[in-house]
Amino acid sequence: MIDSYNTILLNKILSKFSSGNKLEAFNQLTKFLENNPNDMIATYNHGYMCQQLNKFDLAKKRYLKVINKDSQHWQSRFNIYTIYIIEKSYVLALKYIDEILKIKKNFQPAQRDRALVLNYMKRPDEGLSYVLSSIKSSRLSGI
């Protein structure tokens, strides 16, 4: 019963955020997490809200908590590396991109962003080489 109530409450909060009541929804989800600190769906969504509200340090903490609980959670890695790109922390962005590519080998957004980050790191030849090899790999695997 408590789980279904929490699911309904969480969905209402997320709908509120999507409809534009971002700060109110953020505050409600913050309070929800005080009472449900082990709810990883809420933790992930709180990270997303933080990211949308430019609270990047808190967003990264939330995503890392999810990653620590679920080593295969590629979505948290995706979101955290986008923050690192915004912050121009390219080495850290590349770390999370590479982790995603270990989980989802041919994940096109991560492949694209790996080349982008390598370009930002003044390694355009490596980025281009990576893009060409990922295209070749995609063709061979039928993607």
Assess whether 48 and 98 both reside in one domain: no
Tell me the whole-structure pTM to 2 decimals: 0.87
Amino acid at 26: F
| Band of residue 68 on the pLDDT scale cut at 50, 70, 90 | very high
Assess whether 49 and 106 both reside in one domain: no
Give the residue, 142 or 85, on which the prediction is more confident.
85
Q: What is the pLDDT of residue 125?
A: 82
| Band of residue 135 on the pLDDT scale cut at 50, 70, 90 | confident
* Domain span at 100: 91-143
- Averaged pLDDT for residues 39-53: 97
Q: Would 86 be classed as within a structural domain? A: no
* Burial of residue 5, with CB atoms counted within 10 A of its CB: 0-12 exposed, 13-18 middle, 19 or more buried: exposed
Q: Would 79 be classed as within a structural domain? A: no
Residues 6 or more apart whose Cβ sits within 8 Å of residue 141? 106
Q: Give the integer Cα–Cα distance in Å for 83 and 19.
A: 23
Q: What is the pLDDT of residue 4?
A: 85
CATH number, domain of 54, equals: 1.25.40.10
